Structure 1
C-alpha cells in the first residue's frame, strides 16, 4: 500500500517493529519472544519453565483440548467479538499481523497452541490504524477476572480468565516473564500501547495474561 504524506502509521508498521520469534513447538509447548517497535531484534527463545498461579476459582482446572484452529475471539467486557485469522512468521522472523485493511480482525499465531491446548498461545491485533480505532483499542482496560472466549473450528470453545494486564516499555520487554513455557493452557493477548511518535512509533506493549478456566 502506498504511503500518504503525513499519515499516521499503523502500529504494526512502525520503525523496526518486532513481535514474535519462535524456536520450537514441542508437543504442547511453544516459546516465543516479542517486540513491538524496538530497535533491537527478537530475543533468543526462552527455555526456562514458569508457572504463575491465577486467581482462585472453584473446582479443578479443565483438561487441555486437542488441537483445532481458532475461528473467533470474544472479550465480552470490552464488546469485542472478532473473527480470527492465522498468522505466521515472515522471512525476518517477525510475526505477521492481520491485514491493515481489516482492523477488526484478530491474528492467532498458528505455530503455537490453538485455543485450550497446553502451552502459551498468542493472539495479536491492531490498536488503531489510519482509519481509526481497531479491535484492541481498549485492550488495556480489561480487568482481572474477566473472560476471553476463543471459539474453535471443531465447535468447542476455550474460555480463559484474565489474570493481569501489564504494559511494558518496548526497550525492556521481559520475554521470559511473558512467554516462558507453562504447564497449563494459557493465553497472551497483545497490542501496542504507551505514547505514539511519528518517528519511533509506540513506546510500549500491552499484554493480557490469561489462563484456561473452562471449555465448552
Structure 2
C-alpha cells in the first residue's frame, strides 16, 4: 500500500466525531473526563517525538486489527480510515460504539513515523470507544494487535486537550523519528449548540513488541 505523509490530513475537528449526540439527548448526562495539566507533555513536537524517553526498534509495516488500552478498559477492533472531501480525517460509523479507526494511507502502528488512531467519544446511545480517553495517564500502556501476528506495545508520553481553533496539526500529525502513536477523540468544552469544541489527543511511543 502506498504511504503518504500525515500532513495531507487537515484539521481533525471532524463534525462527525464531535457532535455529542448522547449529551444532547440525555438529561443529566455527564461529559467525558478531560486530561489535567499534569498530563501534558513539555517539548513534544511532530518532528522529534517526545524528547529523551527511549523507544524500541521500529517494526516492519503491518496493518493493525485491534487497539487495547487497559487503564480505561478499551478493547476495540480497528478499521481503515481515509480523508473526507475537505481533507479532514474520516471517522468510523457512529452507530458502532466499540470501533476505532486508523489512517490507513499513513504510518502503520509500530513502524517508524507517526500512526494515527481516532474514535468517537459518544453516540446517541451513550459513551463510545474513547469516552474515557481523557482519563489516560502518562506511563499507561497501549497495545495494538497487528495483522502479522505481532503486538506493538506503546507507552503514553502525554495527554492533551486542544480547542478546535488551536489544534496543532504539525505537533499531532508531524513525522516522528521513531515509532509514534496518536489516539484522538473529541473533548474540551461542550455546547449544546455546537457539540464538543475541541479534541483530546494521547501521545505515545513504541516501547516493545511481542
Q: Same fold (TM over 0.5)?
A: yes
121, 125, 128: which one pairs with 2:122? 128
Partner of residue 172, structure 1: 166
SS of equivalent residue, structure 1 residue 73: strand
CA offsets 1:107-140 (integer angstroms, 9 cap, x no match): 1110111120111100001000111000000000
50, 53, 71: which one pairs with 2:47? 50
Uncovered stretches (5+) of structure 1, i.e. residues with no partner: 1-23, 39-47
Partner of residue 155, structure 1: 149
Partner of residue 3, structure 1: none
Number of aligned pairs? 179
Partner of residue 81, structure 2: 87
1, 7, 11: which one pairs with 1:34? 11
Normalising to structure 2: TM-score of the pair?
0.78
Normalising to structure 1: TM-score of the pair?
0.76
Aligned partners of 2:99 and 2:129 also within 8 Å = yes
The Cα shift of 1:96 comes to 1.6
The Cα shift of 1:56 comes to 4.3
Partner of residue 65, structure 2: 71
Taking CA–CA contacts closer than 8 Å with sequence separation of 6 or more, which of the two structures ends up with the larger relative contact order? 2
Separation of aligned partners in 1, 2:188 and 2:6: 27
More helix by share: 2
1:200-215 maps to which residues of 2 (within 5 A)? 200-215=194-209
Separation of aligned partners in 2, 1:49 and 1:147: 21
Separation of aligned partners in 1, 2:124 and 2:176: 37
